[in-house]
Structure formats: C-alpha cells, structure tokens
Chain A
Amino acid sequence: MGGNRIPFARSGAQYAHASNQEMLTAALDGLVARFGLQGERIGEVAAGAVLKHSRDFNLTREAVLGSALAADTPAYDVQQACATGLETVIGLSNKIKLGQIESGIAGGVDSASDAPVAVSEGLRRVLLELARARTTPQKIAALTKLRPADLKPNAPTTAEPRTGLSMGEHQAITTSRWSISRQAQDELALASHANMAAAYDRGFFDDLVTPFRGVSRDGNLRADTSLEKLGALKPVFGRNLTGEATMTAGNSTPLTDGAAAVLLGSEDYAREHNLPMLANVVDAEAAAVDFVHGKEGLLMAPVYAMPRLLQRNNMTFDDFDFFEIHEAFASTVLSSLAAWEDEDFCRTQLGLPGALGTVDRTKLNVNGSSLAAGHPFAATGARIVASLAKSLAEKGSGRGLISVCAAGGQGVVAILEAR
C-alpha cells in the first residue's frame, strides 16, 4: 500500500549517534504520518537488523512501542542478512494471504555506525566466572585468568565467519570469474546515481522518504559523479587476485545507516481504510549456495532462485517491466546478468535447457539502487519493495522482479505486479 524510509546516511556521518531503534521508530512514524495510522492496531510488524546489539533482542516491538502506532500492535524480529527486509515483506504478505492478519508493516534497519562491539572471548569467560564466584578467593582466582590481550574488544566486521574473507573479497572472486570489466561496473554505478538523482528531482521520493535528523536525501548520492570521477578511484577489493582489480569504493556500496518500512494489507483492509493499492506481492523464492567450498560465489544465490521462481509462475524475463537487482556491488548485478545469459552455466548449474535470458538494461534499477542510495543491510529490501510498488502503480500495469543477495551465500527473489 505504500512505504516510508529515512534517507540513508554513510556510516559515521549524520546518523553516527542514532541507534537502530531510533531509526526504525522514525521510519515507522513517517509511515504512520503518511497514511494516518495513528493509534491503529496493525496485524503485525516484522523487521530486523543485521548488526544488532544484544539489548535490542526485541528491536521491532520496542520500535512499535516508541511509535505512534497502537501499543497493542504485535511485532517480531527477522534476521536474514541483507535479505532481511525482503523476507519480512514475504512473511507478512503470506500471513495476509492466509487470512491470519489483515495488515502488516515490514521493514528493516541497520547502523554500521552504532554497531555493537563485543568484549573478547577471554574477557567474556572471566566476567562470567567472576559473576559465578561466591568467595573472595574464587573472585581473585577468576581475575588472575585475565590476560592483557583479552582487553582488546572484537570490532564488527563484514567478513564471512567460515572463510574469513570480506564480502568484497568474495565478490572479487566472482567478478574475476565472470570477467566483469571496470568500465562496465563504473557505468552501472553512474547509472544508479543518475537514475536516483533524477528520481529525487521529479519528486518520486516525496512520498517514499521522510527526512531524519536534518537529512533529506541519501548521503551517498552523487548527482554530479561521472565516469571520469569513478574511473579515477583506486581498486579496493581483489588486489591479491591474479588479474586486474576492478572493484572500487565507487562501484561498491559503502557501509550505511538507515531504516525502511513497507505497509502491507489485504484488499478489504485497504478499502476500509481508503488506502492506496499499489501492487500485489505475487511470489518469492529463496536460494543458498555453497561458497564455503568455492563451488559458487558468495553473492550468487539469487541466480539460482530466479529460474525456480520464474518456472513456478510460468514467466520469463520478458514478462517484466521493472527489474530491481540489489547493487551490493556493481559487479554482483553484472555477474548475475552474465550468468543468466550464459547458456553453458544455465545448463550445467541451473539445470535449464539453455540460457535463462537477458535483462533489458533500460528496465533495470530505473530509480537507482544501492550504489546510489547506500545499503543499510536489513533496510534495503523494504526500500526496493516500496520503490518498485510505486513504479508499478505509476505505470498502472505490468510486473517487477526483485533480486537481493545476502551474506552466508543466500539470496531471495520476488515478483510484484501492478494492480
């Protein structure tokens, strides 16, 4: 029915001191204001964060309690890395289709600035033992186990636990595997910025974004960037691989802070509340790949989910007017497109009779995507769903396809159709 997000900000910038709970509450309050939902009991609110403090065990419920929604609105947290936001949309829309709830708010939030910092494993063990100690000698004994190295905290990283490689280094392997050129990546990044800047200028985001802490546009957006500027940046990932390193800060998403929410409901609910009906959530599919043993790239799971989703719905790429492929890295999008066009890969890896097909680049991320907006991990899915639903409503017909890759070698794809 609609969506709302706060502008995304680069990590450490304007939202450096905003918590996940504050940002998610702001996204909810903006949604409430846009649709007049003050005091309304929503069927369920589902959201999540990837980088989450232990104190935020009930993050979404706490955000609901701090918002203008009715206090008797239930909520739960979801965590599926970068697919969190999209997964909340799928989960709640399924509940609505089942008739379990009439309305729902799906969303996500992430702060790379206000990330949790954990104490070292050694210090943690000492502190727990200290808490269990009853006598002074026991307490002293516990403390003597403390080593200077234990005082160093564990800072959060984006490294995969099983490989120790960062997401960028993983993607660099895939980029190399599909021979994605620096030029192609920079062109995709440029298109993302140009499309998003144009969308802002034509007021596309007027009813999708509510300013927060004085920020009214995404902090990462560079309306004036150019191929020359992007081309001047030094590669940051894949420098240890053989071959040219092509992934730069310009064609990779930066660490980002932000929150987004999507309002979902049944037809009856929308009619009773005079709410707009923008698009239907048609279907969705998740996939995972074995990146640990190097069988597939970390961010390639959506490539595998896609044919299963299309087949089930008896559709091809030709049935879609909009493609929203999350730009974790420009090369992630380009690797996916290349894989779907590769007859050999589609036969051997996807079990298809031939190539899955070609995505019409003029229909791809037409209002910009994560390279321009930034990527607060769990918020991205809700950003994409709200923007795509609006694009479909503006067009008045047609379908849109969403593809989101996620850490852990996972990916989720989904179909929306205009009403």
Chain B
Amino acid sequence: MTDTYLKLVNAQPFSRVAKAAGLPRPVPLRRYVPGAPLVPGPVLVLGRSRSTQAAAETLLEWNLDVRRHLRPKEKFGAAVVVLDDLAHPGELSDVLLELGNGLRNLLPGGRIVTISRSVASGLPPQVAAARQAVDGMLRSLAKELRGGATANGILLGEGVDVGAPSVRDALEFLLSGKSAYVDGQFITVGSDSGKRQKPAVLPLAGRTAVVTGAARGIGAEIVNVLRRDGAQIIAVDVPAAGEQLAQVANGAGGTALQVDITAPDACERILQHAASRYGGLDIMVHNAGITRDRLLANMDEARWNSVLAVNVEAQLRINEQLLDSDIFDADGSIVCLASTSGIAGNRGQTNYAASKAGVIGMVRATADALAGSGRTINAVAPGFIETDMTAKIPFATREVARRLSSLQQGGLPLDVAEAVSFLASSGAAGINGQVLRVCGQNLVGA
C-alpha cells in the first residue's frame, strides 16, 4: 500500500504548504542498505561513567567517526548516551542538557541510543528513580525528534556491562537502518551470553529458520530478510496458501512446507523436515496469525476460537514440543509475532488482542524457563504496518492511524522482519523474554 501523503509532503509545492499549515511532515525513513554506513554521520558519545569509554571504543572498532564533544553547529548522525551508573535523578541533567544543546544538529535519519540499567526490585529509591527517569525522558525525546530520527534505549540487567555481546548487537541494531521503525523503545539485555564481537555481513549464516505464515505480507518479508542475513529457510503456511508459499520459497532458495500449524502433528512435521533436509533447526519464527474482527457484542464462537487457536494455542503447542526436542538447537532462538493490539487494545479486536497478549505472556513465562539454557524466546510487536491487511482499513481511519506515530507514517513489513532477524541472531543470545515494539512509537498504547 503506497502512502500517497508521504510522497506528496516530500515534494514541492505541497511540502511548503504542509509546513506553513503545520500538517504532519513524515519523511522517508533511513533503512538498511547492505554496505552503506551504519550511521549517516559522526557519532557523539556522551556520559560520565567509566563505561562511556568502553562504548566509544566499541564504536571505534566499527570504524565510526566517534566524538566525545561536538564543535558548534557540527552535524552528527547519532548519539550514544551512557547512563549506566546513575545513583540519583539529579545526575541526569549534565549529560542530557549537553545532548539537548546539540540536538538541532542531528542529521535526518539520526539515532539517539541511551544505555542505562533496568529497574529491579530492592533498589534504593533514589537509584530506582534515576533509572526510571531515563524511561520517561527517552519516550518524550523520541516524540520530539523529526526527520525520521529515532530515540531508543538499551537496559542492562544485573551484572551485564556495556561490553556484553548482546549490548553491542542491540547498539548496532538501534544505530542502523534496520531499526528505522523502532522508536521510543527499550531493549533489555539480561545476560552476557552471545559470541559475536563485530558487525557481521551474514549474522545468520549456518542457521536454519522456520517461518510460519510465510506465504505473504510480513511472513514473506521475514523469509527474505533471514535469507539475506544468511539463514536457510523453511517456509511454512497452510496448504491453501501453497501457490504463494512456493514462490516465496523459490525466491529465497528455501523449502516450502505446507502445514496447518493448528494440526496436532504440525511441530513433528516441521522438525522432521528440518532434521532430514537441514540436519536440525536453529530459529523458529511464529509469524502465522489471523484476524476475525468483531465487537465483542457481535462475536461468535468460530471467530473467537479460530483466532485464539492460530495466534496463540498453536504457538504454545509447537513450543512445548520444540523445546523438548534435540532437533531444535541448544542455542536456538524463538521469535513470536505479538502486536501492539495485545498491549494497548484495539476496538473490534478483543479476540485478536487476547491472542497477542497471550503470546506476550507465553514469551515471558517461557523465557523464565529458558534462562541460562542458551535458548531464547522473544516477541516483536508490530504497530501499523503497510500490508494487505491494513490496506483494507477505510481510507480516513487508515490515514489517521498512519499519522498517529512519532514517525507519522506506517511501517513496512521489512521493519518487522529486521527486528525478527536481530532477535534471531546468536549475537542476541543475551536478550530473552523481551517484547520489542516496531510501531514508530504509535501514540495509541505507546
């Protein structure tokens, strides 16, 4: 679905009219292009803690133009703000005011990334206040940025330092074009698991991935991105979607497996296929999902049950068998598709939101069980994404929905796929039980 307004507002004469009238002015987002620089300009590293230097050194290893201070009016592409040793809310002002001072010089498509510590129980109140303050600050800052720039944070868990592999991975993801539609979000790194030390061209090389619901839309895009990142693909969808599924599989050099994921033997068939054709399975992406929208007052049993069956019950059943199996790698990653509907709710979607909130509950509980095992499970929660599904929304509603995010536009299936690939990489092994929103900081439920 083309965003006509986005095209109009970025061309004369309408761009001048829109500016004068104070209309939303979304810009084309900076997305990942293989071989292109990680960030569009110098990276400013701010912070008072000892870890600040470690962060700067990581960026230097990636051959970035790293600055500890900016000259007046110098443009910059990103700022990494290290706030990992906050003891009191009062300590925020120095660093943040310095950031604010230069903010007008942030390039279009720029990135602000904070690195701070997660709020755990048992902290002294002033420490908890300082850490929580980062949350409110960052979410507000993200809403202030324009020109496709985003602000996101990395939260360090207990005992995790700035140099942990998954911190580096999350930092790379958030600085890059891969996180174009991730805005105002935090990624918690809970452990120092993970191996990767520098940006890899093929982060998923040698891994085999199953993507359910792969025949179209977001699923097809996930297949393409996982393949681009080096994974072998098993594309799964219901037999009725086999024609498109075959095209997707052929485009990605993978195999098409026609399975209804709600069938009792679905996991067995997936595992058997993975074992016989690829010698095992490393990544499971639960993308398949359906909507059967109705107000609860008009809801029937078939609509309610089918949505729950496909969107959450099938994932529960498959995960149980998957995690019991040796075919699923000891360092395997599960990535589930949730939805901002499951976080904030959506009129007419009690069934869908129930299923997607259920996925979030499942991810968190499963993550607890997997802690320390090498395997991880995470969720990606897309907001308004331009797909065949959202193209069916009535025009006016769709236009409003698009402009309701900080980036003033819908995301692309690619944006969701990038987040999935990031969470599926072995570098993200220190990230477990997280729900990463890809919603452009949608104001509804943000």
Q: Which residues of A contact B (CB under 8 A)?
A: 26, 29-30, 32-36, 38-39, 68, 203, 205-207, 209-214, 216, 274-276
CA distance A206 to B278 in the complex (A): 20
CA distance A257 to B163 in the complex (A): 63
CB atoms of B253 and A212 under 8 A apart: no
Known A34-B255, A34-B256; contact A209-B249, beta-carbon cutoff 8 A = no
Chain B residues with CB below 8 A from A210, complex form: 242-243, 245-246, 256, 258
**Contact status of A36 and B255, CB under 8 A, knowing A203-B263, A274-B278:** yes
B 243-271 to A, binary, CB cutoff 8 A, 1 in contact else 0: 10111011001111111100101000000
Q: How far is the CB of B250 from chain A (nearest CB, A)?
A: 4
Minimum Cβ distance to chain B for residue A5 (Å): 11
Report the minimal beta-carbon distance from A278 to chain B, rounded to whole angstroms. 12
Contacts of B239 in A (CB 8 A): 203, 205-206, 209, 211, 216
Interface residue from B235, B243, B276, B279 paired with A211 (Cβ < 8 Å): B243
Contact with A33, one of B246, B259, B263, B277 (Cβ below 8 angstroms): B246
Beyond A206-B258, A206-B259, A274-B276, whether A30 also contacts B253 by CB under 8 A is no
**Is residue B240 within 8 Å, beta carbon to beta carbon, of the partner chain?**
yes
Residue of B nearest to A67 (CB): B250
Chain A contacts of B265 at CB under 8 A?
203
The answer to whether B255 touches A33 (Cβ under 8 A) is yes
State the Cβ distance, B266 to closest chain A Cβ, in Å.
10
Name the A residues within 8 Å of B278 (CB-CB): 274
**Which chain A residue has the least Cβ–Cβ distance from B272?**
A276
Q: How far is the CB of A392 from chain B (nearest CB, A)?
A: 17
The reply to whether B242 and A30 form a contact with Cβ atoms under 8 Å apart is: yes
Question: A36 and B253 in contact (CB under 8 A), knowing A211-B240, A276-B276?
Answer: yes
Residue pair B259, A36 in contact (C-beta under 8 Å) = no
Shortest C-beta distance, B270 to chain A (Å), equals 12
**Interfacial chain B residues near A29, Cβ < 8 Å:** 246-247, 250
A-B contact count (CB 8 A): 67
CB distance from B406 to the nearest CB of A (A): 40
Interface of B with A (CB < 8 Å)? 235, 239-243, 245-247, 249-250, 253-260, 263, 265, 276-279
Task: Enumerate chain B residues within 8 angstroms of A276, measured Cβ to Cβ.
Answer: 276
Known contacts A30-B246, A211-B239; 18 additional CB pairs below 8 A are A30-B242, A33-B247, A33-B256, A34-B257, A38-B253, A203-B239, A203-B260, A203-B263, A205-B239, A207-B257, A207-B258, A209-B239, A210-B245, A210-B258, A211-B242, A213-B243, A216-B240, A216-B242
Name the residue of chain A whose CB is nearest to the CB of B245.
Answer: A33
Q: Which 9 A-B pairs have the closest CB atoms?
A: A33-B246, A33-B256, A33-B249, A36-B255, A68-B250, A210-B242, A216-B240, A211-B243, A211-B242
Q: Which residues of B contact A212 (CB under 8 A)?
A: 243
Across-interface contacts of A211 in B (CB, < 8 A): 239-243
Complex Cα distance A33/B220, Å? 14
Chain A residue nearest to B243 (CB atoms) is A211
> Inside 8 A of A30's CB, which chain B residues have their CB?
242-243, 246, 256
User: Cβ of B277 and Cβ of A209 under 8 Å apart?
Assistant: no
- Measured between beta carbons, the chain A residues less than 8 angstroms from B257 are 34, 207
Residues from chain B with a CB closer than 8 A to the CB of A216 are: 239-240, 242
In angstroms, how far is the closest chain B Cβ from the Cβ of A276?
7
Contact of B253 among A34, A39, A206 (CB under 8 A): A39
The contact of B250 among A33, A205, A206, A213, by CB within 8 Å, is: A33
Q: Closest CB-CB distance, A219 to chain B, in whole Å?
A: 14
Give the Cβ gap from B236 to chain A, nearest Cβ, in Å. 11
Contacts of A38 in B (CB 8 A): 250, 253
Residue of B249, B258, B278 contacting most chain A CB atoms (<10 Å): B258
Closest to B248 in A: A33
Instruction: List 12 A–B pairs whose Cβ atoms lie within 8 Å, in order of A's numbering.
Output: A26-B243, A29-B247, A29-B250, A30-B242, A32-B246, A33-B245, A33-B246, A34-B255, A206-B259, A210-B246, A211-B241, A211-B242
Contact of A35 among B245, B255, B260 (CB under 8 A): B255
| Smallest CB gap from B266: residue in A | A203
* Inter-chain contacts of B240 with A (CB < 8 A): 211, 216
Contacts of B245 in A (CB 8 A): 33, 210
Complex-state Cα separation, A144 to B256, whole angstroms: 60
The answer for the CA separation of A276 and B253 in the assembled complex, in Å, is 18
Our pick among B241, B242, B263 for the contact of A209 (Cβ within 8 Å) is: B242
Cβ–Cβ < 8 Å partners of B279 in chain A: 274
Chain A residues in 8 Å Cβ range of B242: 30, 209-211, 216
**CA–CA, A274 and B256, complex, Å:** 15
Nearest-CB distance from B214 to chain A (Å)?
11
Q: What A residues does B263 contact at CB under 8 A?
A: 203
Bound CA–CA A68/B242 (angstroms) = 16
In the assembled complex, how far is the CB of residue B89 from the closest CB belonging to chain A, in whole angstroms? Answer: 56
> What is the chain A residue whose CB lies nearest that of B233?
A36
Neighbouring B residues of A207 by C-beta, 8 Å? 257-258
Cross-interface CB contact of A36 among B243, B247, B254, B260, cutoff 8 Å: B254
Q: How far is the CA of A210 from the CA of B235 in the complex (A)?
A: 14
Q: Which of B243, B265, B277 has the most CB of A within 10 A?
A: B243
Give complex CA distance A68, B258 in Å: 19
A29–B241 alpha-carbon span in the complex (Å): 14
Nearest Cβ on chain A to B39's Cβ, whole angstroms: 35
Cα of A36 to Cα of B208 in the assembled complex, Å:
13
Cα A26 to Cα B250 with chains together (Å): 12
